[in-house]
Amino acid sequence: GLARSQKCYRVSIGTGFPGHHPPPASFSPVCGRPRAQYRNVGGEDSMEGEWPWQASLLWNNKHQCGGSLISNQWVVTAAHCFQRSTNTSNYMVLLGVNKLANSQPHKLSLGVKRIIRHPKYIGESSSGDIALVELERPIQYTDYILPICLPAASVQFPAGMKCWVTGWGNIQEGEDLPAPQTLQKLQVPIIDQRTCKYLYSMALGGKFPPKSIQDDMMCAGYAEGMKDTCKGDSGGPLVCKASKEWLLAGIVSWGEGCAIKNRPGVYIPLFIDLSVSRVTEFLSVGLSTPCSVCISPCTRLQPAIPNLHVPHLI
């Protein structure tokens, strides 16, 4: 739930990134393009099919974290979601879900084949808070289950750009999202890293000492508080729109409290770790035999995640 209480390209919503080339029309389904088209800045509840890449990671059949579908067999989430256990039999992934508490006609429940945590991750608030989850089998895309696009390594999201974060976490600290647990959405501006580091360098009484913002972290939200991610949103997507596609800008990582003043949400940006140029390095900890993959119309990436969806190839 979303609590209510360096060099970069200058882009804004509705414009394309320099060097950003959407997939050809023949490439179907296209990542980052929901079939449903509703956007309501004031509302909190999401509609079915609005964020078709959103995943729920279940631990012992309870919602633990969010995640994002990036191919037909891979979900990306936060590494800290697996602090309790990395035993795949404890986890399930839900796709095509809008309301967790209701039976959903488009829901797909899948077992987990493999969990790959980033080798840099060592614990709470550390670098590398990112993990890949391999689903038990490849899935078929539907209007309600589609992948999000990954940004090219050269893309950065400028301060002030309005992006969206989604999740089923608490609506405020200590308060669960009420039934039927509808996926929440919140529009948040990107905060530049210098400001982010400054805000977290301030002590807010004994409860919130200064925290270090690492180079592979980014902030989004409001310095004044009031709106933020909260417990249960971890691992979920921060997405920004470029031209016609939504790009996965970051993964919900951590924060202090929920919607606390001068403590905006902290995210792991995707261009750091999961863009095409880095995916080989990231997956080398988990793949013994690299595979060659062809993304229509036959641009070769070798090796990479099978059927990885990217709108711009390095």
Residues marked as catalytic: 80, 129, 234
- Residue type present at position 180: P
Can the peptide bond before residue 303 be classed as cis, meaning omega within 30 degrees of 0?
A: yes
CB count within 10 Å of CB 173 equals: 14
Q: Which residue has the tokens 């929440």?
A: 184
Q: Which residue has the tokens 């805000």?
A: 199
Buried b (16+ CB within 10 A) or exposed e, 47-67: bbbbbbbbbbbbbeeebbbbb
CB count within 10 Å of CB 308 equals: 21
Strand partners for 175: 172
Q: What is the DSSP letter of 291?
A: -
Structure tokens at 227: 């709106």
Instruction: Calculate the alpha carbon distances from 76 to 145, 202, 210, 282 in Å.
Output: 15, 31, 29, 12
At residue 194, the 3 state secondary structure works out as: helix
Structure tokens at 77: 């989430």
Q: What is the DSSP letter of 140?
A: -
At residue 134, the 3 state secondary structure works out as: strand
Angle at 264 between CA 258 and CA 270, to 5 degrees: 110
Residue 52: closest CA among 166, 163, 135: 166
